[in-house]
């Protein structure tokens, strides 16, 4: 499936380990940008109801000329649609916009603990999967207590959890828990501070940490391998067994980001990147236990 190797989810389905993210790409730009990504070899496309661009992603899929089974498409349930009736309505709208009969992966975008309806939302996703509308179901930005609760109340574990993860915020404890539960992790904001993603969070009151692509340790490893800093960080995610989605509007940068399967980081490289972890203050986005914006 494209240039990226596939990884297995706990339900037996396969997904490309590296995909194309679409946050902050407008619906009007998606046919051009996502179309370029597909032509460049990306076969996993990550969108969300909250992104406001599912219709543009759907147009790019239709215009790609690829068979349906050649693309892995992920979307996410918007905040504020956790009630079963709202979730069903929102899912139908997602499928209409994407122009698909079956979605590969559908996630709950945030748990919104103050609203306390994420279990109801999860039960709805389980129902949709059982009906054959979704191949795999998962969550995003869920901490261990949220995951433990949905498993306890439904008996169904998510196939994947999409969380903030990058060299400054490596989430080692949470990753260990997911490994024990056989839940895949997908990294959002994989390149860390300095991206448009982090700029959005800074505008919402989060602290800044400079630019990860200018970090001296990352730059030194990049020089050693004759690669760019972005390629080093993406290669680190892949060697850690993480799924990663990365966004760019530039075909040249798209090619650079997907061109990370012909080299490997050394054990020393990985050790140097592990030393960058700042679990107490390296986070860009909000804490899942605190974020309740609908």
Residue 84 makes CB contacts below 8 A (sequence gap 6+) with 120, 121, 123, 124
Whether residue 159 is contained in a domain is answered as yes
Which tokens belong to 271? 């050790």
Per-residue pLDDT of the chain (294 residues; tens, 9 = 90+): 457 899 999 999 999 999 999 999 999 999 999 999 999 999 999 999 999 999 999 999 999 999 999 999 999 999 999 999 999 999 999 999 999 999 999 999 999 999 999 999 999 999 999 999 999 999 999 999 999 999 999 999 999 999 999 999 999 999 999 999 999 999 999 999 877 777 777 776 666 667 899 999 999 999 999 999 999 999 999 999 999 999 999 999 999 999 999 999 999 999 999 999 999 989 999 999 999 998
Domain limits for position 73: 6-274
Look at the alpha carbons of 223, 225, 231, 235 in this order and tell me if their dihedral is positive or negative.
negative
Q: What is the number of structural domains in the chain?
A: 1
Answer yes or no: are the C-beta atoms of 178 and 184 closer than 8 Å.
yes
Q: What is the pTM of this model?
A: 0.96
| 67-105 tens-digit pLDDT | 999 999 999 999 999 999 999 999 999 999 999 999 999
Measure the CA–CA gap between 260 and 221, rounded to whole angstroms. 14
Residue 216 CB burial class (10 angstroms; 0-12, 13-18, ≥19): exposed
Name the H helices within the chain. Answer: 30-39, 54-64, 84-98, 118-130, 144-154, 172-181, 196-203, 216-225, 229-239, 251-258, 267-274
Whether residue 282 is contained in a domain is answered as no
Measure the CA–CA gap between 241 and 161, rounded to whole angstroms. 13
Measure the CA–CA gap between 291 and 286, rounded to whole angstroms. 6
Widest CA span in the chain? 54
At residue 1, the pLDDT reads 42
Looking at residue 199, which CATH number applies to its domain?
Answer: 3.20.20.100
Whether residue 287 is contained in a domain is answered as no
Q: What is the CA radius of gyration of the chain?
A: 18
């Amino acid at each position: 499936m494209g240039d990226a190797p596939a990884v297995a989810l706990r339900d037996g389905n396969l997904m490309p380990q590296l995909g194309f993210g679409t946050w902050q790409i407008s619906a009007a730009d998606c046919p051009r940008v996502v179309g370029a990504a597909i032509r460049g070899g990306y076969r996993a496309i990550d969108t969300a109801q909250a992104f406001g661009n599912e219709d543009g992603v759907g147009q790019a899929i239709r215009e790609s000329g690829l068979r349906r089974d050649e693309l892995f498409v992920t979307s996410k349930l918007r905040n504020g649609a956790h009630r079963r009736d709202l979730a069903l309505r929102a899912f139908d709208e997602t499928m209409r916009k994407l122009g698909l009969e079956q979605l590969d992966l559908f996630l709950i975008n945030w748990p919104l603990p103050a609203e306390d309806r994420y279990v109801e939302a999860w039960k709805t996703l389980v129902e949709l999967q059982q009906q054959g509308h979704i191949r795999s179901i998962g969550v995003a930005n869920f901490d261990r207590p949220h995951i433990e609760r949905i498993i306890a109340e439904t008996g169904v574990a998510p196939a994947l959890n999409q969380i903030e993860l990058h060299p400054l915020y490596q989430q080692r404890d949470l990753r260990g828990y997911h490994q024990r539960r056989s839940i895949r992790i997908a990294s959002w904001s994989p390149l860390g501070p300095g991206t448009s993603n982090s700029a959005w969070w800074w505008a919402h009151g989060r602290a800044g940490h400079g630019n990860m692509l200018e970090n001296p340790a990352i730059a030194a490893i990049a020089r050693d391998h004759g690669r760019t800093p972005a390629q080093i960080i993406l290669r680190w995610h892949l060697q850690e067994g993480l799924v990663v989605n990365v966004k760019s509007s530039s075909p040249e940068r798209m090619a650079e980001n997907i061109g990370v399967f012909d080299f490997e980081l050394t054990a020393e490289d990985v050790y140097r990147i592990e030393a960058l972890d700042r679990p107490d203050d390296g986070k860009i986005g909000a804490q899942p236990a605190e974020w309740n914006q609908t």
